[in-house]
Amino acid sequence: MAFLGLREIERDPYTAVHHDPAQQLVLIKRYSLNYPSIAAIELSFDRINRSLEAIARRRTLLLVDARDAPLRNDDGFENAFAHCHTRLTEGFKRTAVLLKSATGVLQLGRLSKGYSKPMGIFTRPEDALHHLGVSVDLKQLTDP
């Protein structure tokens, strides 16, 4: 399924990964289904990372649309998420994360403090897209 140059390269019940080679953009859309376990988080992120192996991260922009992701702040989840998210975002030219609420922005800001490269964290799609310098119609990316 393609959207304005975006080609889906991976999907599981929690996320879909799209790639637009023309804009050198990877877009990860997080769906609203809650991870039932830490193992499910790790498996999902491993699948995403495997799907990105052929993409030159240093030349590629990453946009994570996590507006539909359920909020969680239990220690087990936060530790697993921080580890997996660090590995996922590593090496990209620039990263923007799109969240629904200020609470989500604060949580990700706290979890991402140790990242080697800062990322943009936004609640407005136009701000995230401007940060990356790309044009994408995010309304076309819906839950499965």
Q: Is the pLDDT of residue 144 over 60?
A: no
Q: Is 139 helix (H, G, I), strand (E, B) or coil?
A: helix
CATH pick for 2-139 out of 3.30.750.24, 1.10.10.2840, 3.40.50.300, 3.90.226.10:
3.30.750.24
pLDDT by residue (tens digit) across 69-104? 888 778 788 788 888 888 898 999 999 999 887 766
For the chain, the domains span: 2-139
Encode pLDDT of 9-64 as tens digits: 999 999 999 999 999 999 999 999 999 999 999 999 999 999 999 999 999 999 99
- Which pTM does this prediction carry? 0.86
- More confident of the two residues 120 and 73: 120
Contact indicator for 25, 134 with CB cutoff of 8 Å? yes
Q: Are strands 94-98 and 61-65 parallel, antiparallel or unpaired?
A: parallel
pLDDT of residue 115: 58
SS3 63: strand
Residues contacting residue 21 through CB under 8 Å, at least 6 positions apart: 5, 7
